[in-house]
């Protein structure tokens, strides 16, 4: 589908705004009949293609960060929401383990996605120390044929 320049800019702005609000690119494009396919959006993002838009790429990258932060907020909201953790039965309130497990799955899925979207911010940190001391590593240069101890 071909778009005139102003319509294309409006579409790009709409995508960025919705993504910044916490919507995935897939859900944005699936719910907008007037929006292009993902292939077209990716062409706008591809710096090797003729349709490349550097400003859109920068805005998209910023929106992805905001999307990740929104997902982080979702984790807190899901974790704090205990409104359906119990249900009333004829014997009184009963813990609904299915709801709790579903909430756990929702949180774990978002944590996994965040760790891959922004590993420096949301990924697991590896502690390469022992009792607060740095680990000593020996680097062996196998390619030079020179023993490092002999070259001193």
How would CATH label the architecture of 5-122? Orthogonal Bundle (1.10)
> What residues does each domain of the chain span?
5-122
Return all residues near 150 (Cβ < 8 A) that are at least 6 apart: none
pLDDT above 60: residue 150: no
Mean pLDDT of the chain: 87
Q: Quick: pLDDT tens for 78-87.
A: 999 999 999 9
pLDDT above 60: residue 127: yes
CA distance 67 to 46: 20
User: Please, which pLDDT band fits residue 27 given cuts at 50, 70 and 90?
Assistant: very high
Q: Is the dihedral of CA 94, 97, 98, 102 positive or negative?
A: positive
Beta pairing partners, 31: none
């Amino acid at each position: 589908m071909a778009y005139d320049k102003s319509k294309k800019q409006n579409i790009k702005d709409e995508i960025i705004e919705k993504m910044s609000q916490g919507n995935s690119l897939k859900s944005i494009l699936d719910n907008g009949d007037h929006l292009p396919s993902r292939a077209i959006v990716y062409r706008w993002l591809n710096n090797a293609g003729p349709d490349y838009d550097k400003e859109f790429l920068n805005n998209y990258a910023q929106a992805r960060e905001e999307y990740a932060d929104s997902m982080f907020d979702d984790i807190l909201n899901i974790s704090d929401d205990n409104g359906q953790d119990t249900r009333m039965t004829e014997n009184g309130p009963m813990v609904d383990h299915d709801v709790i497990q579903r909430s756990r799955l929702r949180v774990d899925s978002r944590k996994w996605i965040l760790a891959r979207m922004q590993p420096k911010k949301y990924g697991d940190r590896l502690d390469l120390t022992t009792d607060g001391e740095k680990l000593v590593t020996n680097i062996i240069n196998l390619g030079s044929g020179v023993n490092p101890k002999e070259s001193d």
